[in-house]
Chain A
Amino acid sequence: MAAWKLLSTGMGFLQSSLPFCRQVRGYYVDWRMVRDVKRRQMAFEYADTRLRINAIRKNTILPKELQEIADKEIAALPRDSCPVRIRNRCVMTSRPRGVKRRWRLSRIVFRHLADHNQMSGIQRSMW
């Protein structure tokens, strides 16, 4: 998943937190990117649970009481566990807008790399 890609490229930032209060050193661009990574990890953890609770909530067979209980349960889960809060940021600059999904880059970085011939198979188009 994208979360793991960020982790593997960004050198286990969250795994390096030791109890001796060493400085946390990571390679993420800014704190918003860090929070996004945390959200992705949590969404991965709770994905199965949410799937099952939603399967109970969103069907017509079970009685309404059960569905209400399921509603409360899913509301009780941590807020960062829902995948809706994940934002596809640019990998290089953490820009939240103008990010092309295929390359995970914002438009500015994409243009920069493509003009310097760093993107394989991308060329200036004219027709």
Chain B
Amino acid sequence: MRPERLYVSGGCRTVDCAAQGNNARLPSTKCKERESLASGIWAPCTARPLGTSSISFSGNKESSTSLSEGKENEPEKNEANAEVNTDGQNAEVNEVTENSQQTLTSQLETEPVVKPEDSKQVEKTKSGKESLLELLGAMKVEVTTARKIRPSKTSRMSERPDQEPMESAHSMFQHAAAEGSPQHGTLNPALVAAVSAAASTLPNKHQAESELLKQLRKHEAVPDTHRRADGQNIGHIIADMKVGRRPNGRSNARPTSQIRFDDDGKGYTQERGITGELDGVRKRKSPFTSPTLWDIDLANHIVQTTNQMPRNGFEEMIQWTKEGKLWQYPINNEAGLEEEASVPFHEHVFLEKHLDESFPRQGPVRHFMELVITGLAKNHHLTVQQKKNILTGSETTSDRKMMS
């Protein structure tokens, strides 16, 4: 007689839970948090129409990883632009812009930087409208989910969009600074008030405030003729930041894959992106010094010595959810597949282009491959890259050898 006939299980799920718990489900809470926060902060901004020049930045932006920075930058800079507003090209702009949330949030991030100049240069930006439209055509919005907890509070947004014009912009700015003296001795008092309010949200209040005020002053000081494309104004701002640079030496010398610790003690790995250039710019721009190696060592020490074992089942479940062993609630069927949401469906369905041209058009082999393609087209669980790999045989070269 089997043992379980003597025993009755009333929905015993402990072992099953443990078994299922090891299914790797990529945590997607972080992106959700950011999106919800971004949307929450974004709501008050919708009252203000967006400026033309803000679109150009979204065009120049390579990835919308700055959703996180947008969340941080928006509170500080939205107040700075409470008064500044462009009415001129808003209607056309709103038609032109894509309605994806990423571009809009990216516009919001670029908005504050651009607004001070916009208020002065309504006619100048019209000349850049054509370049704007070109940029929009070439615009590519990437949504990355591989981001960890938000990085340090540097406005990476303003660093990313223009790396190439930076050099030229910097030289331009130097010309401008050399030539022009500030035309207006006074700033708009409302702007100043907004700047102080914004700076108070940042950790380093006085420095941030002085930097923001400096930006405002210089935006007004630069003569009109030197404002060509809007993309280059970012370069000005980045160049501005050079003034407040502190010699950091090799404080940022650490392997890019090493985990860093943010202020709240959570870790994140350096994003593989334009890290080399970003590091240089971020050093100057950060209101506080990035954690040194000793800080990291101390954080590791603390983490190891403090008792981090879960005290009860709830904490254990929380830990497992953070690690990705448990699913996130509410259940998201596309957990781990957020990037795929932005991939258009035709890339999934029309897969014949991935086949070789030399592939036979008739015959049983073609029939077989078409069945494979049809099956892949209906597969909801593979990414386009995986499907491509399957078809080109880079997954298993033996398949291709057999086909040829």
Contact = CB atoms under 8 A, between A and B. Distances in A.
B334 interface: no
A92 interface: no
B15 A104 contact: yes
A125 B368 contact: no
A14 interface: no
Interface residues of A, number: 32
B367 interface: yes
Contact of B12 (A8, A70, A121): A121
A44 B77 CA distance: 51
Contacts of B372: 55
B300 to A, nearest CB: 21
Contacts, number: 77
B346 interface: no
Contacts of B7: 110, 114, 119, 122-125
A33 B198 CA distance: 62
B365 A73 contact: no
Contacts of A56: 368, 399, 402
A125 B6 contact: yes
A61 B398 contact: no
A100 B364 contact: no
Contact of A61 (B9, B16, B367, B399): B367
B8 A8 contact: no
A102 B16 contact: yes
**What class of interface size applies to chain B in its complex with A?**
20 to 34
B301 interface: no
A100 B6 CA distance: 14
Given A61-B364, A121-B10, A122-B12, A114 B3 contact: yes
Nearest to B390: A52
Given A104-B15, A110-B3, A122-B9, A8 B364 contact: no
Given A4-B22, A69-B402, A110 B4 contact: yes
Given A52-B399, A73-B402, A114-B3, A62 B365 contact: yes
Interface of A: 4-5, 8, 48-49, 52-53, 55-56, 59, 61-63, 66, 69-70, 73, 100, 102-104, 107, 110-111, 114, 119-125
20 contacts: A4-B22, A52-B395, A52-B396, A53-B398, A53-B399, A62-B364, A62-B365, A69-B402, A73-B402, A100-B3, A100-B4, A107-B2, A107-B3, A110-B3, A120-B13, A121-B13, A122-B8, A122-B9, A124-B7, A125-B6
